[in-house]
Amino acid sequence: MSNASKLAVPLILLAAAAGGAAWYFSQQNPDPQPTPVQPVEPAKVDPKPQPNPEPQPNAVVSTQEPTRTERNPAVDGQAHADAAQGVFGRVLMPNGAPAAGIPVFLMESAMANPIELFLAQKSGKVKPPLASTATQADGTFRVGVVKAGTAVDLRIASPDHPEFHQPNIKVRDGDWYDVKDISLETGTLVTGRVIDLHSKAPVPNATVYLASSHQSHTMLAVPGRERGLATATDTNGAFRYTNGPRSGLINLVAEAQGYASGQILNQQIRTDAANDYTLEVEAGQPIGGVCVDPTGAPVGGVRLDVVGLSSKTPMSATTTSEPDGNFQFGNLRPGPYQLTANSSQFAELRMPVVLTGETEVKVVLTKRGTAHLQVLAANGQEIKSYSLSLKRYFANNPLGIANVPEWNDRRINPSDYRATDGKFASIGGLPTGDFRFMITDSQHAKTLSPPFTIAEGGVVVEVRATMTLGGTITGTVIDDTGKPVADANVSSDMNGGIAADTGLFEIFGKMMPEKHSKVSVKTDAQGRFRIPKLSFADYMVRAAHPDYCEGTAINLKLEGEGQVIDAGVIQLSKGAIVEGFTTIGGQPMGQVKVTFSVPMNAETLPAAGRGDPNAMLQAGPAKILFNASVHSDGDGRFRLLKRVPPGTYRATAQRPATAGDMFTPMLDAKETAREIVVAPGQEYVQVTFELPRR
């Protein structure tokens, strides 16, 4: 099954879900009538005033007992206030007074690549903030975005108030987005005690962590809050938070010297009743031992995880072996645990049952697999410099491969051949299973090696691969009058069928291994293009020129050495520039997301109306599902980043979502939805979206 075919079912399911949501909202109010749009001259845009950069002071955060949240003052140079674009605003206390010395962070958006963030978190890697500062005496702050268009989350991490979180902010090149005044909320009071499980005596000086159990931004916490808000119990074992979240579910975890941790999970925050909890902890017991290789030599740097096997021990812990191989989990709840050991150079080892109190556990690790790889050029000459990836291989689906997240791509050089007297590159650290190497160099198409199997403790595997020159895609780019378009940028991409221009394809495209080659070329004076050295895969090609709409040819399959596919003629429409303004309550407002898309119905997608499961992949006269979105700038102005071809579109606008309100943007999209007709030859379309205050 091709990559494109694999995309079909999930794309259609997501599209159906989106269509169902749109149908639901459309039943609440009649569909808006089409808005006739007349060609207009481009609006004159006055230069947008830029905020004057001001020096940022080091953060000064006051400590207020009994809440002892870790402080993270800003450091000179972290604010990137001299960047060409960024975010600025003012933070106010609940009573309206300026909030001074409050830490402000720009974090990578948790919505940008959740899979990558999850894997990083699982491996213990924590990404630092993209920028950080602290509010000045008047409550103002200014943090820069180094790379324009990067999706960021704004966090205001007051030690005495619930954390403010505005997700998925995107600022364009040269734009400074004003978030206006952010008022901190009065937190929810959360109290409780930590006591000994058996004696019921209070446990003083215990550390208690409070964390929200459902918010996605906890995948990428601000520095010092990776485990939540921290406080300590007093002499009576009591703890008190005044900055608990206003709503949602919370987790509480207590840790004390000599005790195993105690926890209470998924508790609903109440605003109409007391949030008081008792956490019971009991004296902990250790699990310890040593990590060694098959020869008995100690192995340091091994990550060890234990997970409780009994409902009475719902506990997990992680530690790392010392250079001498020794490790110890100090305080675990008594009971049975499963122990897992992981290392980049050794195979994963899982010990099904280890009991607390065992302090001489011997973890014997087996070396990960090794392959000796020989790579030959298409002419038979040896190649000793190339890039290498590892892909899972499936015998029941020979054309299918999958990424191996735990194995990092690497660059192979002649030094990797020393261990084999120059004949093979020695590739170590391979997990067990069936694999293929993906090999890339500048003179050939991306090439997959023959399949090979790595067995635990098995012999070294020899792999020989011959690079391919791959196939070629040719074609011609013309405009809507039939004239050739010179200097158009034509690029190869994974085949996405007619869904290639939608966000659905972008989501699934990131999850799939790239069997295809990404190559870009320019058209000549006759509009012709030729893309050589393409690996064997399903392709589409995109043709782009600043004076035209993007054109696409889809469903191009390369599967044989020297194969040449003619993509035919790709016609670029002149299209229209779409721009306008977004307001909220009559005031210009930035970060409003404006989207233009082709309505998914029987008229635009006939096969879908007939229930054809391959509708998303059909070639021929089927039209690419155009989709474009952009966020308005700080003055409420927006311009779509690409021209819109003639046709009928559904246009919507929605304000940014907040951590506590995901419904308002959906309501915005419903209420602002309108039908826009772009006529042939129309140069400009201007649209104003007026959103109400809520």
Instruction: Identify the pLDDT of residue 569.
Output: 96
Residue 337 class from Cβ within 10 Å (0-12 exposed, 13-18 middle, 19+ buried)? buried
To the nearest whole percent, how much of the chain has pLDDT over 90? 59
Residue 532 class from Cβ within 10 Å (0-12 exposed, 13-18 middle, 19+ buried)? middle
Place 64 in a pLDDT band, splitting at 50, 70 and 90. very low
Residue 206: CB atoms within 10 A of its CB come to 24
656-690, pLDDT tens digit by residue?
877 566 788 899 999 999 999 999 889 999 999 99
Poorest-confidence range of 49-58, 251-260, 443-452, 646-655?
A: 49-58
**H-type helices in 519-650, by residue range?**
606-609
Rounded Cα distance, 335 and 286, in Å: 11
In order of 323, 627, 643, 672, 687, the CA distances from 477 in angstroms are: 62, 21, 17, 36, 31
Is residue 565 pLDDT above 50, yes or no?
A: yes
Contact 259, 247 (CB under 8 A): no
Poorest-confidence range of 77-86, 132-141, 505-514, 663-672?
A: 505-514
Region of residue 378 (phi > 0: left; psi between -120 and 50: alpha; otherwise: beta): alpha
Is residue 207 pLDDT above 60, yes or no?
A: yes
CATH 2.60.40.1120 is right for the domain spanning 285-362: yes
- Average pLDDT value over all residues in the chain: 83
Cα dihedral across residues 509, 513, 515, 521: positive or negative = positive
Rounded Cα distance, 81 and 88, in Å: 9
Residue whose tokens read 């191009």 = 556
To the nearest whole percent, how much of the chain has pLDDT over 70? 79
Place 57 in a pLDDT band, splitting at 50, 70 and 90. very low
Instruction: Identify the pLDDT of residue 312.
Output: 74
Is residue 323 pLDDT above 80, yes or no?
A: yes
Please report which helix (H) or strand (E) contains residue 250, including its range: strand 249-255
What is the DSSP track for 347-397?
EEEEEEEEETT---EEEEPPBPEEEEEEEE-TTS-EE--EEEEEEEE-TTS
Instruction: Identify the pLDDT of residue 663.
Output: 85
DSSP-based three-state secondary structure for 318: strand
362-410, pLDDT tens digit by residue?
999 998 899 999 999 999 999 999 999 999 999 888 778 998 988 889 9
Is residue 72 pLDDT above 60, yes or no?
A: no
- Higher pLDDT: 55 or 170? It is 170
Instruction: Give Cα 339 distance to the centre of its chain.
Output: 30
**How much is the average pLDDT of 623-643?**
85
Dihedral pair phi/psi, residue 670, rounded to 5°? -65, -45
Rounded Cα distance, 108 and 167, in Å: 9
Instruction: List Cβ neighbours of 220 (8 Å cut-off, separation of 6 or more).
Output: 107, 108, 110, 117, 121, 127, 153
Place 115 in a pLDDT band, splitting at 50, 70 and 90. low
Instruction: Identify the pLDDT of residue 438.
Output: 96
Instruction: List Cβ neighbours of 65 (8 Å cut-off, separation of 6 or more).
Output: none
Instruction: List Cβ neighbours of 16 (8 Å cut-off, separation of 6 or more).
Output: none
Q: Which residues pair with 472 in a beta bridge?
A: 564
The whole-model pTM stands at: 0.69
Architecture of the domain made up of 369-466: Sandwich (2.60)
Instruction: Identify the pLDDT of residue 399.
Output: 76
Q: Which residues of 344-354 are buried (b: 16+ CB within 10 A; e: fewer)?
A: eebbbbebeeb
Residue whose tokens read 């006591």 = 195
**How much is the average pLDDT of 256-274?**
91
**How much is the average pLDDT of 542-563?**
92
Rounded Cα distance, 353 and 451, in Å: 35
As a three-state string, the secondary structure of 669-682 is HHHHCEEEEECCCC
Domain ranges of the chain: 285-362, 369-466, 575-691
> Across the beta sheet with 647-654, what order do the strands follow?
627-631, 593-597, 647-654, 674-678
Residue whose tokens read 């003052």 = 73
490, HSE (Cβ side, Cα atoms, 13 Å): 31
Q: Which residues pair with 529 in a beta bridge?
A: 475
Contact 89, 140 (CB under 8 A): yes
Poorest-confidence range of 11-15, 467-471, 487-491?
A: 11-15
Instruction: Identify the pLDDT of residue 504.
Output: 53
Class of the CATH-defined domain 575-691 = mainly beta
- Do domains 369-466 and 575-691 share one topology? The answer is yes
Residue 585: CB atoms within 10 A of its CB come to 10
282-300, pLDDT tens digit by residue?
999 999 999 999 999 999 9
What is the DSSP track for 33-56?
PPB-----PPPP-PPPPPPPP-PP
